[in-house]
Structure formats: structure tokens, C-alpha cells
Structure 1
Amino acid sequence: MNTHLRRAFLAATFLASTGVSAQAQEEISVTLVNGHPPVFLWVKHLTETYIPAVNKALEGSGYTIAWSEAYGGTLAAVGGELEALEDGLAEVGVVPTVFEPTALPLQNVSYFTPFSTPDPRLVLETVNALHESVPGMVDSWERYDVEYLGGGFALDNYLLMTNFPVESIDDLSGRRIAAPGPAVNWLEGTGAVGVAGNLTTYYNDIQTGVFDGVIVFPTAAAPAKLQEVAPHITITDFGAQYAGSVVANKPWFDEQPEAVQAALREGAKAYTEAYLQEQNSRVEAALAGMQENGGTLTTLSDEEKARWAAALPQIADTWAKAAEADNLPASEVLDAYIGALKEAGAPLPRDWSQR
């Protein structure tokens, strides 16, 4: 046997013994998008969990993915992810639904039911279940040529950070407080002036006097070092919030082989679980770290929390009516969401399903 034949024979024998097909695998290019930088947990786990989980699920399928990661505004600004996916500029991404209250009102149900539950896992699992039980949840994504992949992230229990002390809602009168998207509604009836904002600008805006404080959550406040400009940290128990979903451009997704579709969904499950586990371990560390670096932590009394919740207008009902005018089943979503929280024993200073 000559040298070339011997090499070919040995290669074929090796491939047969290891079960590896000699046929070349098909490589699929995927751009993965989110507007926030990797310092934030939901972006970090795209790199650390989602991509590896999808790659692992594809092993032996005959397909591989060449990933391009587009974070921190390199492809889409915060709040621009849905448009980037709809336009096909990216194939897969995490859309922060909190910045899409008009386009995706149903996914924002938790933001219109504040003071509900501080448990991110309960919120995330409840909203994911609604995607399975209420057809309108998935339909709302498909309006924008986007495929819901079955995973996402919820933000830890929101609190208030200010450059002045807060002992009651009376202390908020006339103060400019920034909040993300629909969370601005949590300030109605308190005397504060609510201003829409996001994490990428909070520090500078407080430092320069644009805002007097922000509504934020611990695991984002700590890496952003917000205690340096807003040292008064008040535990208000606004609650954990559903804030983003793992999705894909639907026309592209529909063209993919079943193995690739299944792998993208499997990756979303792994991403969600890994995110929740690390989030749980980081919340207490975030609060402790902010106190160690200049922050002062106080807890609003139960009486003031109840007073704050009661002072708010019926924002859930207003939200539901607006969404239903757009032919979306918001009342069904609201009742199912609050019902699930009640069944789980969540504390509800105000029952937003009573309207």
C-alpha cells in the first residue's frame, strides 16, 4: 500500500472508530445583539452561557455557528434591539422589554403591578408560563417578525437611590427621579417628578444634577457605582421585574434546520437558569459592597410602602385598557399574572387585579 492510500485508510478507520462523519459541517453565521455592555449580568451570560449551551446542543448535528457578538451599542443602542432584529441586522438577541412598553405591552405586565414580589425567579417563571398559556404573548412578538425562544431575564427587587435621605414619600416632593420605561409610573401620586432614563446615563445625570435619584436594582447599581453619586439607598420593595426575552429574527429562524432551532431554544433555557443562579448570589453582595463604598442603606417602613402603593393610580387597569385597544389580551394576562403570584404566596400590598 503506497503512502497516500495508507493515510486515507488510517483516516477513514479513525473516523469510523470515533463515530465522526467525514462530511464537512455546515457553518451558520449568527450575530447576537444587546445594547448594554457585558458588565451587566444579562449580557455577561450571553457570552458565558448562551453561546456555549447552543454550541453544545449542536454537537453531532452537522451544524456549527460562527458567532458575532454585538453589545454595548456596537450594533443597537439600548432599546433598539427589537428594531435591529426585525430589520435582520442581527439574527438572535436579548430584547430588554422594559424599553418597549408600547411595542410589547404584555411583556411589561410586572412593571404595571409594582409592590408585588421581590423574587426574580417567580416573576420570570410566571411570565414564561404566560407565553405558553396566552397566545397573545407570542403573537405580540410575531408582529415584529421576531420569534420568542423561551427564555429571558428578570431584574432583582427594585429600590430607590437618591442624593437625599428618604423616610417617607413626602420626602420625594419636587424631586426629579429617573426610572426605566414604565417604572416612571411608580412615582405618580408621590409628588416626585418622574423622568425616563436608563443605566448607561444614570451616574452622569445624577452627578450633573439632571436627576436627584433613580429607581434601580442592586446588581446593576453596584457595578455602576451609583452609591458615589446617590449614597442614600432605600429598600422600597418595588418588586422584581420581567425585563427581557431571548428572541430571534423570525424569517431567518424559520429557514433554519430543526436541529439549529432546537439548539437556540435549549440555549435560552440554560441562559435563564445560569442568570438566575448568579443573580441570587450577587444581590446581597451588591448591597453590602455599596454600603462598604459610601452608601447608606435604609428600609422604608411597611406603612410607607402600603401608603406608596395606595397613592398610585390604577396603572394596571390603564395599561390593560390601552393594550386591549390594540387587540391584545391584557386583562387576561393581568389576571393570570396576579393569580399566579397569589397562588405562590407572594406579598401583595395592593391587588392590581381588583379594578
Structure 2
Amino acid sequence: MKTNHLKKGSTFAAATAIVFAVSISVASAASFTLKIGSGQPMKPIEPINVANYYFVPTIEKRVAAETSHKIKFIKLWSTVSSPFDVLENVQKKLFDIGLFCACFEPTKASHLAFHYYLPMVTDDPITQLKITRKVYSEFPEWEGDTKKFNQTVLGAPAFSSYGIGTTFGWKKMTDLAGHKLAGAGLNLPWLKLLSDVTVIQTNLNEAYNSLQSGVYEGVVIFPPAWKGFKLDEPAKYYTEVGWGATTLYQMTINNDTWASFPSEIKKIFNEEKENWMLKASQMARKKYDSSLAALKKDGSTLYKLPYDQRAAMAKAYDSWANDEAKKLDAKGLPASKLFRRYLNIAEEAGIKLPHKYNIK
């Protein structure tokens, strides 16, 4: 009788433990609804495009398959925010996750677009991504600076290299003298530092009419955007200048949102952000090549600026690059150290720099 009593007690204890474990599992399962957004349209911009078609659905599927939790995204691409307000909207948690160009945040996040200050390193987005991620692994405080705005950078893919579309042909830097050329934001100094060039601030919405009417004669731009906005109709020349690939477009997540995730969800995010960066960079390289092919097919004259001319341009930027490093140093960022290390890492990766900037 005593043995039977013990067996019954053991069976009851085991059953109780199972029920308790199941109840804990059910109680710990959570559902998250996340707002992800941008201030620009999704389809033409590679980081947003890949976020929409790869990152978002993959996170949802993996969380459902690999954890007891669920995530649902609400996608707000270019609907409730301007390009200039995304960082602030993540800070306020109007977005849980935001995608924005660091070029639109000149006072808060221009350091994340530091390639602007060190142009002409590499035209290849995938190479740029690799060397930049290595730099950031050695300087975590660089991306970590966004924590003051209650958000964390998940990553930034690389765009394809900048060139310039014009209404006239040119072969060397001095040929640009006397012409009216346009740019936007952080790429304007690339033009201003060239001798006798009239520089005009612009945006893509007004570029077609401005080129057609002669307000200006050229625009600093990526080939996909040049072709996508049909700017090859009023201006039939495109030059691969080699200003370089850039990791401009950031994906940040609100720190309160991130803190609410269990570790298994954070693990999935950390894995998929790497895939997102690589896939978006691969798309950028593919679109660069296909856009140049389309321009040639449709009658544009293409030209690739020779290495010696790239070197001449880069030398013109030397003191400016150092000045920009010192401005960021004054904000408490290790810019001079990071700039020097970035150039060294580029050389270690086999890149032959047209000019190695003298960052003091």
C-alpha cells in the first residue's frame, strides 16, 4: 500500500511539473507588432527594397518557426515621415525600426556617412561593406553614438559608386571649369573643391527640367538614379568618376523596442541584419552594371575617368578630409583615428588608393 501511495505521489508530482512547465512556456510567449518605416519610396532604393522583400518576411517566418513568439511588421514606406525625420521618429517610437540616409542628418548622424569625407576608395559596394564593417568592429562607439537618440544601428548596406551625368563630354578634371554642376547635401564639396566650377544645390525632383532648361549642366548621381529618373534624355553623357561606394542608408531600432525582445529574437535579428546588408549591397552592384548597359543601349556616351584623373581629384580633397575629421573629433568621436584606420584597412584589402589622405 505504501508503495502504491508513493507511485501515485510521484505520478502527481510529474504531471504537476509538466503542467507548470507548459504554463510557463505559454505565459512567456509574446506577440510583437513592429512599425518599420522610411521617408523615401521602397522600390528604387536598395536598402528599403531588400528590407521589404527579404528582411521583414524572413524575420516574421523565422521567429514563428524557431521560437514560441510572433512578430508582425507594419510597413510604412514613405507614408508618414519625410526623409529628414526618420531618426527622430525612431527616437519618439513612432517607428520601432527606421531606414534613413545619414546624409539627411547633418547634425546628428553625418559621421555615419563618413565615406563622403574620404571619397575615391572603392567603387564596389560589397568591398566597401566588408572594409567598413571591419572598421566599425574596431570602433563600436561610431555607430554607438546613436544611443543618445534612444536607438541602435542594426546596419547599413553599401550603395554603388557616384559619378556625374552631364550635357557635355569631358575627359579630365580641368574640363569641368566654367560649367554649372549640381549636387545635394554632403556631396556638394566634391564639386566646390574643384577650380572654377559653379555649384548648385538640387534634388532629383527638379533635375530633369533643370538639365533641360540649362539651369545647370550636370548632376552628381548614381547610374541607377540617373537612368531611373530619365535624366539621360536631356543629358547624354555619363562619367564614372569613382567617388566611391558608400554605406549611407542606416537601419536603426528603438532601444526600448530592442530591450523588450527575448534573446532568441535578438539572435535572429542579428543574423538577418547581416544578410540584409549583403543582399542590398549585391543588388546595388547589379543595378549599377545594368543601368550603365541601359544607358549605352539608349544612346548615351559613357566614359570612365582614368586613374590619374581620380588621383588629381582626390588630392584636391586632401585638406578638406582632414578638416572634416577634426570637426568630428571635436564632437567627441574618434574620427581622425577611424579615418586613418579605414584607409589602412582598404590598403590591406588590396585596394590601390589614388591618393591616401593625410589625416593628422
Question: So what's the TM-score if we normalise by structure 2?
Answer: 0.85
Q: Hey, what's the Cα distance between the residues in 1 that align with 2:200 and 2:85?
A: 19
Are 1:61 and 2:61 matched, yes or no?
no
Residues 154 and 198 of structure 1: CA distance in aligned 2, closer, same or farther (over 3 Å): farther
The correspondence of residues 21-170 of structure 1 with structure 2, limited to 5 A, is 23=26, 26-37=30-41, 38-58=43-63, 59-72=65-78, 74-149=79-154, 151-170=155-174
Preserved CA contact (<8 Å) 1:57 1:266:
no
- Counterpart in the other structure of 1:3: none
Question: Which whole-Å deviations, capped at 9, do the CAs of 1:51-71 have from their partners, x for residues lacking one?
Answer: 122123312312222212122
Structure 2 residue ranges without an equivalent (≥5): 1-23
Preserved CA contact (<8 Å) 1:107 1:127:
no
- Counterpart in the other structure of 1:7: none
The one-letter amino acid of 1:335's match is R
The one-letter amino acid of 1:29's match is T
Question: Which whole-Å deviations, capped at 9, do the CAs of 1:18-41 have from their partners, x for residues lacking one?
Answer: xxx995963311111122212222
Identity %: 24
Q: Hey, what's the Cα distance between the residues in 2 that align with 1:198 and 1:261?
A: 38
Q: Hey, what's the Cα distance between the residues in 2 that align with 1:195 and 1:153?
A: 28
- Counterpart in the other structure of 1:260: 265
Equivalent residue of 1:39, what SS? coil
Structure 1 residue ranges without an equivalent (≥5): 1-20
Q: Hey, what's the Cα distance between the residues in 1 that align with 2:335 and 2:76?
A: 33
- Counterpart in the other structure of 1:323: 328
Preserved CA contact (<8 Å) 2:33 2:71:
yes
Q: Hey, what's the Cα distance between the residues in 2 that align with 1:62 and 1:230?
A: 56
Are 1:339 and 2:341 matched, yes or no?
no
The one-letter amino acid of 2:49's match is K
Preserved CA contact (<8 Å) 2:318 2:358:
no
Residue of 266, 273, 280 corresponding to 1:275? 280
Residues 201 and 264 of structure 1: CA distance in aligned 2, closer, same or farther (over 3 Å): farther
The one-letter amino acid of 1:177's match is L
Q: Hey, what's the Cα distance between the residues in 1 that align with 2:89 and 2:71?
A: 20
Residue of 183, 188, 199 corresponding to 2:187? 183
Equivalent residue of 2:34, what SS? strand
Equivalent residue of 1:226, what SS? coil
Are 1:297 and 2:297 matched, yes or no?
no
Q: Offset at 1:50?
A: 0.8
Q: Rg: which structure is higher?
A: 2
Equivalent residue of 2:228, what SS? coil
Q: Hey, what's the Cα distance between the residues in 2 that align with 1:55 and 1:146?
A: 21
More helix by percentage:
2
Q: Hey, what's the Cα distance between the residues in 2 that align with 1:157 and 1:98?
A: 15
The correspondence of residues 166-315 of structure 1 with structure 2, limited to 5 A, is 166-187=170-191, 188-315=193-320
Preserved CA contact (<8 Å) 1:53 1:270:
no
Preserved CA contact (<8 Å) 1:97 1:243:
yes
Question: So what's the TM-score if we normalise by structure 1?
Answer: 0.86
Q: Hey, what's the Cα distance between the residues in 2 that align with 1:144 and 1:317?
A: 27
Preserved CA contact (<8 Å) 1:106 1:333:
no
The aligned length equals 334
Q: Offset at 1:162?
A: 1.2
Q: Offset at 1:200?
A: 4.8
Preserved CA contact (<8 Å) 1:130 1:137:
no
Equivalent residue of 2:145, what SS? helix
Q: Hey, what's the Cα distance between the residues in 2 that align with 1:209 and 1:80?
A: 32
Residues 268 and 200 of structure 1: CA distance in aligned 2, closer, same or farther (over 3 Å): farther
The one-letter amino acid of 1:80's match is D
Q: Hey, what's the Cα distance between the residues in 1 that align with 2:149 and 2:199?
A: 29
Residues 42 and 195 of structure 1: CA distance in aligned 2, closer, same or farther (over 3 Å): farther
Equivalent residue of 1:314, what SS? helix
Preserved CA contact (<8 Å) 1:105 1:323:
no
Q: Offset at 1:282?
A: 2.5
Q: Hey, what's the Cα distance between the residues in 2 that align with 1:283 and 1:321?
A: 33
